[in-house]
Structure 1
Amino acid sequence: MRSDPKVFALWENLTPLGRNEFICWVDDAKQPATRQRRIERTCEEILEGKKRPCCWAGCIHRADKAPSRWQQAVLIDKKGKSGP
């Protein structure tokens, strides 16, 4: 991202919450290849003017609102459980 000054400038202009949601979306990927695709997509979406990741329920770390029922059931509960 820093290698493209235009993307980096747009990134710097995102709100801290918007940047955090992109970071969490990328970090949520389990495989390096998926993570790399999400980084590339983040750059594309920022250039398109998007402020948050497309098609993602949102970061479970948001302090300004409670997690939705979906986030609670799918993201939080599963992360707290150990293997099958």
Structure 2
Amino acid sequence: MAETQASTFMAQLLCPANSGEDESWAFLVLPKAVSETLPRRGRTSVEGTLNGYPFQATLDPDGHLSHWLKVGKGLQEAAAASPGDMVAVQIFPADTEPEPRLPDDLREALATSPAAKATWENTTTIARLDWIHWIESAKQAKTRNSRVDNAREMLASGKKRVCCFDQSGYYSKSLSAPKAKN
């Protein structure tokens, strides 16, 4: 743990307005000054505590040059926190980015192209995070399918990084924190 890089703050645990089928999660938005201490404006992994309870997580960009944290039911219960509560948070950058979970559709696409799979395996963890984030940020199934196909083609041609993708969501507004329930 790199204590010198730790940031401590208070934040309100929010209930998402649209939580999908899983209504058990909540979220909080990091203060911009805390987010600025992190190594990336895009997805970045952290370790920390919520009300003193340890956690590891990957933060998502909020579209305003900051980040947000999804807080699952298990962490809420362990930290004795509920939506609406003010919570004490301490975070610091993870020593190494954990390998991202490969979405099934991308895994299948890579399996059909040995060249794309080889390039994928020779990219950095951060680059793989960006590819996955680009694909998962698609709002419609048709766009997502197109991005999976394009990723396979670009990787097969040797391209290791997805181009022209705003990882912060600030310029394209393709990424953002959930809207809070009123």
Global fold match (TM > 0.5): yes
> Could you tell me how far 1:47 is from its partner in structure 2?
2.3
* Preserved contact between residue 116 and residue 157 of structure 2 (Cα < 8 Å): no
Q: Normalization by structure 2: what TM-score?
A: 0.34
- Partner of 2:130 in structure 1? 21
CA distance in 1, matches of 2:116, 2:155: 7
Q: Secondary structure at the match of 1:37?
A: helix
Matches of 1:52 and 1:18, distance apart in 2: 6
2:157 corresponds in structure 1 to 48
Residue 148 of structure 2 aligns with which residue? 39
Please state if 1:80 is matched with 2:175: no
Larger radius of gyration: 2
Structure 1-normalised TM-score? 0.68
Q: Tell me what 1:5 maps to.
A: 114
Deviates more, 1:19-28 or 1:48-57: 48-57
Identical residues among aligned pairs (%): 34
Q: Which one-letter code corresponds to 1:48 in the other structure? A: S
Q: CA RMSD in A?
A: 2.4
Report how far residue 44 of structure 1 moved.
Answer: 1.4
Q: Deviations over 1:25-83 (max 9, x none)?
A: 0000011111110011111111232222121112x4xxxxxxx8x26xx333xx23248
- Number of aligned residue pairs: give it: 71
Gaps of 5+ in 1: 61-67
**Residue identity matched to 1:44:** E
